[in-house]
Amino acid sequence: MISPVKIWRRQKEIRRILGKKGQVITWTKILAAGAEFKIQAPYPVVLVQLDDGQKVFGQLVDYHQKDLKIGLKVISTLRKVRTGTREDIIVYGVKFKPIK
């Protein structure tokens, strides 16, 4: 379970990355996910070098298997990360989607 305080504190980090473009420099596919993410498995996680030089990682969404490759152009987007908890908190975070 993630604390509402931790979610609130991450907002600055999320805003700093949100909407930025970059390209995939490496990726892996998660086959055996933790309990909170089992419903999403298997899913790819990408390491992205943003156009400003930062390197960040996150889940790749809205992709076709044939597009999953190094050099893929992506943009960061806000997406639901986890389903509701006992406190009905829905956690959102940065994920990446291909630029079409």
Residue type, 43: Y
What gap in Å lies between CA 48 and CA 7, rounded to an integer? 22
Provide the pLDDT for residue 95.
94
Give how many domains the chain has, as a whole number: 1
Residue type, 79: R
CATH label of the domain that carries residue 86: 2.40.50
Its pTM stands at 0.81
Per-residue model confidence as pLDDT tens for the chain (100 residues): 566 666 666 677 778 888 999 999 999 999 988 877 777 889 999 999 999 999 999 999 999 999 899 999 999 998 887 765 566 677 778 999 999 8
Domain range for 39 is 4-98
